[in-house]
Structure formats: C-alpha cells, structure tokens
C-alpha cells in the first residue's frame, strides 16, 4: 500500500514535526559577562560559551567570582546529559550566549500548525463524504 496515508500516520507525522518545529522558536542571543549579572547561581540559566581557542561548550548555573566564571559544564548528548564543575578565566571566553524563546515565532508556528491540521482534517472529511479511499497521495484502487 505504498502512498496511502492513514489518519494515525498523519497524527504521528504531525507530532514529530511539531516537536522539531518548536525548537525553532528559540534562538541564542549574546549575553555580556558582567559580574553584576552573575552573582548568584541560577540552575535554570544555561549559556553557550565560545572559547578563544574556538571550542564551544554549554554551561549551567554560571557565577562570576573575580575574573573567573564558575559553572557546571554540560557533557553527553540529548539522550544522556551529565555535568562537571568547570572554572574558566573570563579572558578565555570570546562569546557568551543565552537561549531565549521568541514569542512571535511561537505564536506564528502554533497558528500555522493549527491551520495545517484543520486543512488535513477538512481534506480527509471531504474524501470520506465522497466515499474515496482515505489517502492523500498516490491512492490506489480498492
């Protein structure tokens, strides 16, 4: 049955695409490393640091003490994450960025996904009302 799309397959596809697309609602924005902004550790704060040697690392709970950034470096991958303490001299960091959610992008994305779901539902209902097979592409004769 190549080319036949059932509603359960469409739902799974929509769920996967939604998950991928929601990550597009975030972006990295430069964050100045000013001691006043990093006096207390915040476990929810994550930074992406670019070091002078070109290496990029992610850290959480950053605090600046004197001329040193103290944090927990993220190790591993998306499925298994661990952390280790790290101390970096501020002059070894060339760029710091913080992940931010874009409200405008999120609203547009959710609206677009909702309209797409409604269009798919309307097309499926239309095909059922005409007693056509439940597929969108490459329908074969029953």
More confident residue, 66 or 78: 66
Written as six digits, the tokens of 141 are 């004769």
- 45 with 96, same domain? yes
- 116 with 138, same domain? yes
- 40 with 89, same domain? yes
Determine the Cα–Cα distance for residues 134 and 127; give it in Å rounded to an integer: 7
**Which H or E run includes 135?**
none
Written as six digits, the tokens of 138 are 């490459």
- 15 with 63, same domain? no
Q: Which of 136, 134, 141, 105 lies closest to 27 in space, CA to CA?
A: 105
Return mean pLDDT, the chain: 78
Task: Print the domain residue range for 113.
Answer: 1-26+102-142
- 67 with 123, same domain? no
State how beta strands 46-51 and 26-30 pair: unpaired
63 Cβ contact list (under 8 Å, min separation 6): 38, 39, 40, 41, 69, 70, 71
- 120 with 134, same domain? yes
- 36 with 91, same domain? yes
Lowest-confidence range among 30-39, 114-123, 128-137?
Answer: 128-137
- 68 with 116, same domain? no
Query: pLDDT tens digits for 26-53?
Result: 778 898 888 888 888 777 788 999 999 9
SS (H, E, C) 70-91: EEEEEEECCCCEEEEEEEEEHH
pLDDT above 70: residue 107: yes
The pLDDT of residue 1: 42
- 37 with 84, same domain? yes
Number of independent structural domains in the chain: 2
Determine the Cα–Cα distance for residues 74 and 55; give it in Å rounded to an integer: 13
CATH code of the domain covering residue 55? 2.30.30
The residue-averaged pLDDT of 102-124 equals 75
């Amino acid at each position: 049955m190549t080319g036949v799309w059932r509603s359960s397959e469409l739902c799974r596809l929509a769920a996967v695409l939604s998950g991928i697309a929601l990550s597009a609602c975030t972006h990295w924005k430069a964050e100045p490393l000013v001691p006043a902004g990093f006096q207390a550790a915040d476990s929810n704060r994550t930074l992406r640091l670019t070091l002078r040697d070109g290496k990029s690392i992610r850290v959480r709970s950053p605090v600046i003490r004197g001329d040193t950034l103290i944090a927990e470096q993220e190790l591993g991958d998306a499925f298994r994450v661990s952390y280790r303490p790290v101390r970096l001299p501020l002059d070894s960091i060339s760029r710091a960025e913080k992940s931010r959610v874009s409200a405008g992008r999120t609203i547009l994305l959710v609206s677009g996904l909702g309209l797409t779901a409604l269009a798919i539902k309307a097309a499926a209902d239309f095909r059922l009302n005409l007693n056509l097979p439940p597929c969108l592409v490459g329908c074969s004769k029953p």
